[in-house]
Structure 1
Amino acid sequence: MSSERRPGRDRDDEGRARNARPRDGLGQPLPYGAPGVARQPEGVVRTAAQTVAEAQALLDAGRPFHAHEVFEDAWKSAPEEQRELWRGLAQTAVGLTHAARGNATGGARLLRRGADAVDAWPGAAPAGLDVAAVVGWARALADRVERRGGPVDAAACAPRLV
């Protein structure tokens, strides 16, 4: 495959393919030129407390896709022993995103996968994360979207992280 860049393809400053289309509050692409919701900056290193606070604010605002990006930053930058916890939290946020978009099957699957990863966390979680509450929320929402379908209201269904 050629390493040449295709004309007209969106690229970041390092030349990686990056879709520059605006996105809505659930991360879905909008037409070029449409007003969108600002994306979360990638690669931000935050403390555990900053991660939880920022993700909670985004979840409360009905922006679980953006909360997922915050959790993903933590997953990539956390100490090795914490990475599965943050990855699980990112999966629950993506599960809520899918449920809010009306994808009940994908939403339930990701909510359960994330819940299992978070549930595997041993001991006290960083930043006061309430592991049991997050796991219970994710599994209950997975059951709900499987029974009733979607979409769900992301803000109304947001979990309490602490």
Structure 2
Amino acid sequence: MTKAPRDRDFEGRARSARPRDGLGRPLPYGAPGVARQPEGVLRTPAQTLAEAQRLLDAGMPFHAHEVLEDAWKSGPDEERELWRGLAQLAVGLTHAARGNTTGGARLLLRGAERISGFPDPYAIDVVGLTTWARALAARLAGPVDAATESPRLTAGRGDLPPAP
């Protein structure tokens, strides 16, 4: 039996054409899904933080992770660990929302550790985010609501849910 060719992007990298839900889980082909974030978008740090926050507030941490991953992969070397850690926080929340409490907690703690050495660049609330991540990791016992649990990335409110 011959396998169908893998979905590939214009550069030949493997991509899944399957639709995804708001937490990035694959859905059956033909099902309505949530639009994915375009990859490789160059944004300023302010644009990255604003777009990631918008997605977190909408309960879409998987998509926020993709935005933060772009900054991690394209940013200056001295900031890569910061953006990587922020991406890990978002994907940790993704796993927690999917009910993967062990993986979610590990990623939340790994992301918190990774960003903890940074002095609040771009008004990122490093202390608030590390506090939020450690507290969420400690209390995970089942799936969480991603929108309710989403952190504030900036302005000294990393440990509070978004304003209504």
Give the alignment's TM-score, normalised by structure 1. 0.91
Whether 1:65 aligns to 2:57 is no
1:1-162, aligned counterparts within 5 Å? 7-121=4-118, 123-126=119-122, 128-145=123-140, 149-162=141-154
Over the matched positions of the two proteins, sequence identity in percent amounts to 72
Deviation, structure 1 residue 15 = 2.0
Gaps of 5+ in 1: 1-5
Q: Shift in Å at residue 61 of structure 1?
A: 0.2
Query: Any stretches of 5+ residues in structure 2 without a counterpart?
Result: 155-164
Whole-Å Cα distance in 2 between the matches of residues 15 and 87 of structure 1? 25
SS in 2 for 1:22: coil
Inter-partner Cα distance in structure 2 for 1:78 and 1:112: 23
- 1:53-110 Cα shifts (integer Å, max 9, x gaps): 0000000000000000000000011111111000000000000000000000000000
Shift of 1:8: 3.3
Could you tell me how far apart the structure 2 residues matched to 1:27 and 1:114 are? Answer: 19
Matched position secondary structure for 1:155: helix
When the two structures are aligned, how many residues end up with a matched partner? 152
TM-score (norm 2): 0.90
Aligned mates of 1:8, 1:77 — CA distance in 2: 30
| C-alpha RMSD of matched pairs (Å) | 0.9
Q: What is the deviation of 1:16?
A: 1.8
Q: Secondary structure at the match of 2:147?
A: coil
Distance 1:8 1:124, change over 3 A: closer
Which range moved further: 45-54 or 8-17?
Answer: 8-17
